[in-house]
Amino acid sequence: MNYRTDSPEETHALGVKMGQAALPGQIYTLDGDLGAGKTVFAKGFAEGLGITEIVNSPTFTILQTYESGRMPLYHFDVYRIADPEEMDEIGYEDCFFGSGVTLVEWSELIEELIPPEAVRISITRVKGMEGNAREITIENGFSA
Ligand SMILES: Nc1ncnc2c1ncn2[C@@H]1O[C@H](COP(=O)(O)OP(=O)(O)OP(=O)(O)O)[C@@H](O)[C@H]1O
Ligand SMILES: [Mg+2]
């Protein structure tokens, strides 16, 4: 499934829809360059889950857990991970295989840990446009 958004608000809105549709135990991966819009999407997704806390990029902590929605959200940003073994130390399996929903920014860096059933989302800047256009590709799940 391919979407195009022309503003952060539109990417946020797509995240809200997907957060509303999310099911317990699902894993969503979010890939795309620095500044592509992964965290913008994640904030919308959290809103769609009913999360009321402020969602920030968890870059320096790798994992942020939000409990105020209709199920827990495990928000990973693995950009600064040096070795996938760090994921074990964080206890990622309890998140990936628990009854909350997991979002992983920069999942390509821990590809070997991503289960085949994960919903894969990539965000890319639309080429030839300096502005706000993004192409968002969703594989392995969800249609809206
Ligand atoms: N269509 C769009 N969708 C999402 N963000 C957009 C769009 N157009 C412009 N932007 C801007 O791009 C930036 C995206 O930042 P964001 O933190 O979401 O990126 P990121 O992919 O999480 O980057 P990082 O890898 O550094 O965490 C924001 O400043 C946002 O306002
Ligand atoms: Mg981010």
Q: What ranges do the domains of the chain cover?
A: 2-139
What ligand 1 atom has the least distance to the C-alpha of 7?
A: 1
Atom of ligand 1 nearest to the CA of 34: 25
Q: Which two tokens stand for residue 67?
A: 């409990």
pLDDT in tens, the chain (144 residues): 999 999 999 999 999 999 999 999 999 999 999 999 999 999 999 999 999 999 887 667 899 999 999 999 999 999 999 888 999 999 999 999 999 999 999 999 999 999 999 999 999 999 876 789 999 999 998 554
Q: Determine the residue of 40, 43, 77 to mutate for testing ligand 1's pocket, defined as the one with the most ligand atoms within 8 A of the Cβ atom.
A: 40
Q: Could you tell me the distance, in angstroms and rounded to a whole number, from the CA of residue 62 to the centre of ligand 1?
A: 18
> CB within 8 A of 83, min separation 6: which ones?
none
pLDDT at 59: 61
> Using CA atoms, how far apart are residues 22 and 75, in angstroms rounded to an integer?
14
CATH code for the domain defined by 2-139: 3.40.50.300
Write out the chain in H/E/C secondary structure: CEEEECCHHHHHHHHHHHHHHCCCCCEEEEECCCCCCHHHHHHHHHHHCCCCCCCCCCCCCCEEEECCCCCCEEEEECCCCCCCHHHHHHCHHHHHCCCCEEEEECHHHHHHHCCCCCEEEEEEECCCCCCCCEEEEEECCCCC
pLDDT at 102: 98
Nearest residue to 95 (alpha-carbon basis) of 66, 58, 59, 56: 66
Q: Which residue carries 């195009």 as its tokens? A: 4
Q: Using the atom order of ligand 1, give the atom closest to the CA of residue 40.
A: 18
**C-alpha span between 41 and 2 (Å, rounded):** 15
